[in-house]
Amino acid sequence: MIVDDDKPAREALYEMVLTAGYKAAAAPSAESALEILARHPVELVLTDIHMPDMNGLELTAAVKERFDADVVVLTGFADSHTYEEAIGRGASDFLLKPVRLPELKARIQRVFRERRLWKEREALMEQLKKLSITDGLTNLYNRRHFYRQLSTEANRAERYGRVLSLLFFDVDSFKKFNDTYGHLAGDEALKSIARATENCLRVADSIFRYGGEEFAVLLPETSGEQAIIAGQRLRNDIDQLRLAISEEETAKVTVSIGVTEFSPGEEMERCVKRADMAMYNSKRSGGNQVQFIPPDE
């Protein structure tokens, strides 16, 4: 988008941008440019500095604060504004008028190239971040992220006086399942359990593959009593799963679930140990059930 209060200069730059092979829009003021940006996606703004009301440097700062767009500042007064001043406001480049087409084209290409590289880098960093907190088999959060998230949720619950519950569950007789049907079937079973858990619980709940066939769930804004109900619902949903072993054969799995409620001020590890103990109480009692240990035990 070209922004210039001087109509001949604006129209000339508009034609140059079209000649360079790009689509363009034009605005006679910074205010009208911001209105266009609010309605339409724009990747690059070419703005003059000297304009009434809001000048090009002020527009640059506003664009960088509010929109995902690069800005190139143009001026015919090299002595009154500097490259450093424009860059300091967030501009990607600084051009002196009169602008020549080859130079304009080269500058636009450079800005778009750097923009593309920046977005690729952002996407890569986001992917690496996701990989660092995600279990590769189930696509659930992993154990490392569990402790980070538990710390965040525990601090929030304590600060605002909210309830928080923790649920651990383990697949019953999973070694026997693997020995009977093979490890590939075991992996598919874990993925099916992960999907069933996601479908059963709320969007606000965080689900983790804690390790092997063990899973953990953080339930914010959930009392121990409510978490028991959620655990029973999850136990039933997994009990109803029918896992395809072959075209003719299906298998089923059950889970042992342990539930506890976070007590404000307690160490996180105590809460984790309680949920883990409740889960093993379920296992020792025959599996396919939910057991609860309150915070004061």
Q: Give 79's pLDDT tier (boundaries 50, 70, 90).
A: low
CB 256 within 8 A of CB 240: no
DSSP code per residue over 51-89 = -SSS-HHHHHHHHHHHSS-EEEEEES-TTTS-HHHHHHT
- How do residues 226-269 score in pLDDT, each as one tens digit? 999 999 999 999 999 999 999 889 999 999 999 999 998 899 99
pLDDT beyond 90 at 202: yes
DSSP secondary structure letter of residue 107 = H
3-state SS string over 156-204?
HHHHHCCCEEEEEEEECCHHHHHHHHCHHHHHHHHHHHHHHHHHHCCCC
Q: Give 145's pLDDT tier (boundaries 50, 70, 90).
A: very high
Range of lowest pLDDT (122-131, 136-145, 151-160, 279-288): 122-131
Kindly list the distances between the CA atom of residue 197 and the CA atoms of 9, 92, 185, 200, 251, in Å, as whole numbers in the listed order: 62, 47, 18, 5, 18
Q: Give 270's pLDDT tier (boundaries 50, 70, 90).
A: very high
pTM: 0.67
Domains delineated in the chain: 2-126 (3.40.50.2300), 143-292 (3.30.70.270)
Q: Pick the residue with more confidence: 153 or 97?
A: 153
pLDDT beyond 80 at 81: no
pLDDT at 19: 94
